[in-house]
Amino acid sequence: MQTTFRLCNGLTANQVKAALFVIYAHKINGQVYIGKTKDPVYRWNTHYDASRNTTHSEYSTPFKVALRNVQNEWLATEHYILAVSNCANEIRKFENIAICKYKSELNATGHWGYSDATEMFKPLSQWQDTVMLFRDESRDVEWGLAKDDADRDVCIARIEHGRTSPTSLVSTGKDGNFPAGYKINCSRAARKGHPVGSHVKVLVSWHASGNQLVGKKHDVFVSVNIN
């Protein structure tokens, strides 16, 4: 699984391959979608799959509709890498700035009020090189990037009401390892016995998409008191 990306804003292939996070853009019929991820090849394929899956929660979002409405979307879509970072908080900021700067019509939600004060984002037409990126098949994409506990970090999370299950787990940012507000994909059984509003300590890693955190399939959460 591989995809060719155009490099923008002075980035080099080595910088992109070495970075923990990237900001990417997909351009289709003159419209732009922007996102962040750890694995842009995997993420592009999940976008495509979601556009064809009528039961997927993102099936009716603007980007997925655009993919369905164009002929030969694999050739019609241009792929770009806009920025890189090894910091989760910084990459979220870059994503917000890029969405505003490029006026990304295909993003389902707006991230308004951010300005490119340092002018780091140049027009997509000024891309200067390309890089062929490959899906890292060694990554356990479904359950995150970690293979064992040595690859995971402690996260202080809060038990909240779930949309499709009784409870869900969300990062609080109080551990210093992960920013607040990220959903944690984890064992439902481990959440039992912890009431909504309580806090737990859990070992997690980033999902390959960079949009959520992932705990172990089988785990026992430790209750913690947060003042």
Same domain, 106 and 213: no
CATH code of the domain in which 156 resides? 2.40.50
The model's pLDDT over 64-106, given as tens digits with 9 standing for 90+, comes to 999 998 877 677 789 999 999 988 778 888 988 999 888 888 9
Q: Would you state the pLDDT for residue 216? A: 78
Question: Are 69 and 11 part of one and the same domain?
Answer: yes
CB neighbour class for 164 (10 Å; exposed up to 12, middle 13-18, buried from 19): exposed
Q: Is the pLDDT of residue 24 over 90?
A: yes
Phi and psi, residue 103, nearest 5°:
50, 55
Per-residue pLDDT averaged across 38-48, rounded? 88
**Domain range for residue 113?**
2-134
CATH of the domain at 10: 3.40.1440.10
Among 120, 30, 27, smallest CA distance to 79 is for: 27
Instruction: Give the total number of structural domains in the chain.
Output: 2
Cα dihedral value 9, 15, 21, 26, nearest 10: 40
pLDDT value for 128: 93
Would the pLDDT of 110 be above 90? no
pLDDT digits (tens, 9 = 90+) for 180-212: 888 888 877 778 888 999 999 988 888 766 678
